Amino acid sequence: MQPPLPAPRPSPDALHDAGWPGEARAALVCSGLLLGTALIVDAGALGLTLPRALGCVALSALLLVVLLPARVSAAPGRLTVQGLWVTRTVRTDRLTAVVWPANTAQGLSLRDEDGTRAEVDLRVLLANPALWLRIEADAHASRERGTLARGTADLARLSSHVHAETARTVLKVSGLG
């Protein structure tokens, strides 16, 4: 029997959502505060019982699931979106579709040649311009290879939007906007 292969080392070129740790911490704090408050109120008002305590824990866990954001990272040629139960890795150098619906404007959907699909929240791309630049460069490489068949107009529209928002933020931070 062969020994198991070592886990792949993270790429030194990998970029991560810099705001994720803070958002995850805030989700944990909110769900913890809800749990603590619910237990204290329930114990003071009605007397705490096991079924009520389990209900408070379940409600707190549900809030955590709702508030916990997906973790996004990008390495050359790949984008990984890691949710609570599902991790999706899209080959950004082999994209077949980039979809940014005009009516929602909050999520970018990417699909590669293998059929893998991942969605990225637009706020993550706006907060992390380096992530967007990596995705954009790989998407342009896909278009040059001829694999990106659908979404070049959405890609151009999204590129203009992200670059305009980034410029607006830089001007605001520098005191010029």
- How much of the chain exceeds pLDDT 90, in percent? 36
**Per-residue pLDDT at 5:** 42
pLDDT at 12 exceeding the cut of 70: no
pLDDT digits (tens, 9 = 90+) for 49-108: 899 999 999 999 999 999 999 999 999 989 999 988 899 999 988 989 888 887 666 788
Rounded to an integer, the average pLDDT of 117-135 is 89
pLDDT digits (tens, 9 = 90+) for 13-29: 788 988 999 999 999 99
Are 94 and 113 in contact, with CB atoms under 8 Å apart? Answer: yes
Short-list 130, 40, 133, 142, CA closest to 90? 142
Sign of CA dihedral 69, 73, 79, 83: negative
Q: The pTM is what?
A: 0.78
Rounded to an integer, the average pLDDT of 28-47 is 91
What is the Cα–Cα distance from 24 to 21, expressed in whole angstroms? 5
Q: Regarding predicted confidence, which is higher, 164 or 103?
A: 164
